[in-house]
C-alpha cells in the first residue's frame, strides 16, 4: 500500500483532538486499572493475583492498540493500493494484532475468576467484584476471538469505474456511482449520500487515510461521470496533484 501526500487540501483537522481525547481516557482508565490490580496483588490468594495479571495485561494491550492508532497520521494523507481497475483504501493493518490479543487477556481473566470462585472465601463485596470482572473478561474473550476470524482487510473502501464497495464490520455496501450523490464528514463519521440505497458510513479512524480526502474523492467521482473511467493508477496521480475539488 502506497502513502500519498495530497496537495492543496486542508484535510481532516480533527485527528489531534480525537487523539488527545483517546490519550486522556486511556490515561485515566489505566490509572484506575493499575490501582485495582495493586489491590488484587496485595491479596494473599493466588487466584486474585492471577486476576491482577489479567488486568495489567488488559491495560498493556489497550496501550498497544492506542499506540497503533496514534502511529498512523491521517491528515492530508491517502494510503491506497491499485489492483487492476480498483483502488483500495484499507484500514490500519497493525491494529488487528492487539485486537486479537484481547482473546488471551480475556482467557486469563476468566481463569482467574473461575479459580477465585473455588479458592477465595466468598463475601458480598468480592462476589460483586468477581461478577464485574467476569463480564469484562468474557467481553474481551469474545471480541478477541471474533478478530481471529476476521481478516486484516475487513476494513476497506474500494473504488471502481462502475461504483464503490465499502466493507466495514456490520456496514457493507456495494453501490453504483448513479446511487451516490456525494460524501462528507459529519461528526466522527464519513456519510455516503445515496439516492436509492440505504445510507452507509464509516468512522474517521476505520481507514488509514484522511477521511475528508476520501469524502472529497468520492464526491468528485460521483459528480463527474466522465472521470470514472480513469479509476486505477490514474487515481493515485490525481491524489498526488490534489486535482479534485474540496467539499
Point out the domain boundary residue: 103, 121, 151: 151
Residue among 210, 81, 64, 91 nearest 151 (CA): 91
**Range(s) of the domain holding residue 184:** 153-241
**pLDDT tens, position by position, 88-110:** 999 887 788 898 999 999 999 99
In the chain, how long is the greatest CA-to-CA distance?
74
Residue at grid coordinates 479458592: 119
Asked if pLDDT for residue 198 goes beyond 80, the answer is no
Q: Are 31 and 55 in contact (CB under 8 A)?
A: no
Asked if pLDDT for residue 124 goes beyond 60, the answer is no
Point out the domain boundary residue: 151, 175, 194: 151
**pLDDT tens, position by position, 228-240:** 999 999 999 999 9
Exposed / middle / buried, residue 144 (Cβ in 10 Å: 0-12, 13-18, 19+): buried
**In this predicted model, which residue has the larger pLDDT, 14 or 141?**
141
What does the DSSP assignment read for 131-176?
A: HHHHHHHHHHHHHHHHHHTS-GGGSEEEEETTEEEEEETTEEEEEE
187 and 170 assigned to the same domain: yes
**In this predicted model, which residue has the larger pLDDT, 196 or 98?**
98
Residue 219, SS3 per DSSP: helix
Provide the mean pLDDT of the chain: 87
- Determine, yes or no, domain membership for 83: no
Amino acid at each position: 500500500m502506497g502513502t500519498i501526500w495530497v496537495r492543496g487540501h486542508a484535510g481532516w483537522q480533527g485527528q489531534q483532538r480525537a487523539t488527545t481525547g483517546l490519550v486522556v481516557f486511556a490515561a485515566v482508565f489505566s490509572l484506575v486499572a493499575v490501582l485495582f490490580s495493586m489491590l488484587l496483588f496485595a491479596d494473599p490468594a493466588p487466584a486474585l493475583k492471577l486476576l491482577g495479571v489479567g488486568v495489567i495485561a488488559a491495560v498493556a494491550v489497550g496501550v498497544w492498540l492506542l499506540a497503533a492508532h496514534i502511529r498512523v497520521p491521517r491528515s492530508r494523507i491517502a494510503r491506497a493500493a491499485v489492483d487492476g481497475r480498483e483502488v483500495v483504501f484499507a484500514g490500519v493493518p497493525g491494529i488487528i494484532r492487539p485486537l486479537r490479543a484481547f482473546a488471551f487477556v480475556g482467557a486469563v481473566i476468566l481463569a482467574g475468576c473461575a479459580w477465585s470462585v473455588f479458592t477465595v472465601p466468598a463475601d458480598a463485596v468480592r462476589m460483586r467484584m468477581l461478577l464485574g470482572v467476569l463480564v469484562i473478561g468474557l467481553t474481551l474473550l469474545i471480541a478477541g476471538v471474533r478478530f481471529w476470524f476476521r481478516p486484516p482487510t475487513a476494513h476497506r473502501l474500494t473504488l471502481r469505474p462502475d461504483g464503490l464497495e465499502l466493507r466495514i464490520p456490520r456496514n457493507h455496501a456495494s453501490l453504483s456511482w448513479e446511487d451516490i450523490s456525494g460524501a462528507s464528514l459529519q461528526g466522527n463519521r464519513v456519510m455516503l449520500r445515496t439516492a436509492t440505497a440505504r445510507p452507509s458510513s464509516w468512522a474517521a479512524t476505520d481507514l488509514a487515510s484522511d477521511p475528508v480526502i476520501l469524502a472529497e474523492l468520492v464526491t468528485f467521482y460521483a459528480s463527474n461521470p466522465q472521470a470514472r473511467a480513469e479509476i486505477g493508477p490514474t487515481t493515485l496521480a490525481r491524489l498526488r496533484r490534489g486535482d479534485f475539488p474540496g467539499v
